[in-house]
Structure formats: C-alpha cells, structure tokens
Structure 1
Amino acid sequence: MKFKKLAFLTILSILLFGGCDSKDGIDSSAVAKKSQKAPEFNLITTNQEQILVKVVDDKWVFQGLENKVILLNFFATWCPPCKAEIPHLISLKNKYPQFEVVAVLVEQDKSNDEINSFIAEHNINYPVTNSNMNFILADAVGGVSTIPTMFLFDSEGTPYQKYVGMVPEEMLASDIQKATITKE
C-alpha cells in the first residue's frame, strides 16, 4: 500500500511540476545572442492589440509596460501544466500592480475565437498573443521545446529568471518582489 501511495505521489509531482516536452533541449545561454538577430518583435494579442518588444543593449523593452516586471509565459492550450498554472498567474497579477504576464501561444493554427474561448473559460486577466511572431520570439529567447517555459524580466528589462515547467506561486511571488527595482 505504501508503494502505491509513493508511486502515485511521484507521478502526480511529475505532472504538476514538469512540463509538456518535445525531445529537444533548451539552450538558455543563447538568449542574448539570438535576440540580437531579431531585436524587435511585434506581438499581436487575440484582441488585435500590439505589444512591441525591443531588445536594446541586452535590455528588453516592452512598450506600454515600461517599469513593470514582465513574465513571458510560453504555453499551449492542450498542455495540462500550462492550464494548471493559470490560476496562479491570475493571482500574482492581481496581487502585484507592477507585474504583467504576457502569454505567448506556441501552438499552430489556433484562431483568435478559439483562444478567446479559452481565455474566457479560464478567466485569464492578462494579454495572450497569437501570431507567427510568437515562434520567432521563442527562437530568440533560445528556443522553447518544453512548455510551460517562462522568462521573468526585472522592471528595467533585464532577464532575471527562466522557469521550465510549472512553478509554485510562492517562488514566482518572491522573484517578482526581487525583480521590482525601485528608483530613488
């Protein structure tokens, strides 16, 4: 009986804290180099709004979101860990006014209507982007082959942390607080 319980808990932790994976690894050291090849990204949300992202001197500038801690969340609608982390991201966005999530869909051929239904179903309160530019951005950060993969940028646009798989809300909250740079 103890073995069954241990096996169940092991499988559950892999599902909750793992990610949906393709077989390629992620080269996080390539983030700076690759972003210089395409230093500007025009992300389009499902509401047809634009989020312009520029890389200038190793700083990431998210136009309209300046001075905020930004979490780029690469996800897919079919990924169980991606769905499981949504309530935590909503909670963090509500808790920290200086924090913004930008969800980057890495799924082919999803209509905005389909994604907007997903957004409504999960009560998502942050922008979700859906365009071919998402894949160029995924390549620019070093490649994304496991989802969810998230990149946290401090309030000055410096890459602060990379997460692969589902991350506990408390860990993200701690990093958001540390990544908030107050100017005196």
Structure 2
Amino acid sequence: MERLKLATVWLGGCSGCHMSLLDLDEWLLELATVADLVYSPISDVKIFPSDVDLALVEGAVANDEHLELAHTIRRQTKTVVALGDCAVTGNVTALRNPLGSVRDVLQEVYINHGSPRAVVPDTSGIVPVLLDRVLPLHAVVPVDIFLPGCPPSAARIKGLIETLLAGKVPTEPVRFG
C-alpha cells in the first residue's frame, strides 16, 4: 500500500482545528505508519509539495498569500477538505467583512479606535496584503469535503481520515459528519 501524502494548512483562523488534530494523541503515531506529513505548520515545511493526496485546510482566505496558497493546494492535491467553520463559512475571520474594504477596516482599527498617533502603519512589503473581503475556502477553489465545527472534534477529524484511508473518497463535494 502506498503511503498517504497528508498536508495540513493554516490560513486565516485561530489554529483551533490544528489543536483538535493534535488532540488525536497516540492515534497520530498510528497515522504516521500509513501517512507522511508533507506540509504543515506542525512540520514547518515552507513550500507546498506536488502530488498531495489529502489537504486539511483550516481558516479563511484573508490575504493575498492565502489566495495564492489556496490555488496551489487545489492544483496539487487530490482531496481538499475545508476543515472547521472558518474554512467552511469564513466564521470569526470574516467578522471584519461588515466594516467594508481594507481601507475602511484599517481606518476603523488604527484611526478611530487604535493608534494614539492616529496613523495607519506602512506595512507594504512586510505583511501580506489583506483582501477586501475574507472568503471561505470554497469561494476561491473547489472543495471536496466540508468538515464544519469550531473546531471539529478530534474524533470527527479521525473519522474523516479513517474513511478516506479506507478508500471512500467522495466523487462530489460532501459535508462530513
């Protein structure tokens, strides 16, 4: 049996989904016998590899780097999972959307309620460029499986991975659990 190439990705969110993944404790050691973790904030790999079997994508698409990475993940992955409510709906990350454009958000945060100097800092070239709207993953790229929850429990993540390891890969987008 060929080893599963597994990636976990953290876009705009709180990392709670990765914490649930880590809550799998000893089962992660079993998973390591059949899967290679090829990309993850846990392993600190910097370049998303090609020919990934399964990508668990946590978080919403909030900036230009997320947008580029989402497209790379979709191009280079067989099965893409929107993991958790931020990836599925935008959730907490999208709370800035009602404030309007990036310019409006920065005005509200730094000028109206933030900096005592009332100045928006120049971060050009230092941090990723924010998108005008935070988007759920499926608004940017096709998603194969939606696993909602804030965060989804370790048991649900394990159930999904076990189902996929058993060869039960959906042929159209599906909500798991």
TM-score over 0.5 for the pair = no
TM-score of the pair, normalised by structure 2: 0.32
TM-score of the pair, normalised by structure 1: 0.31
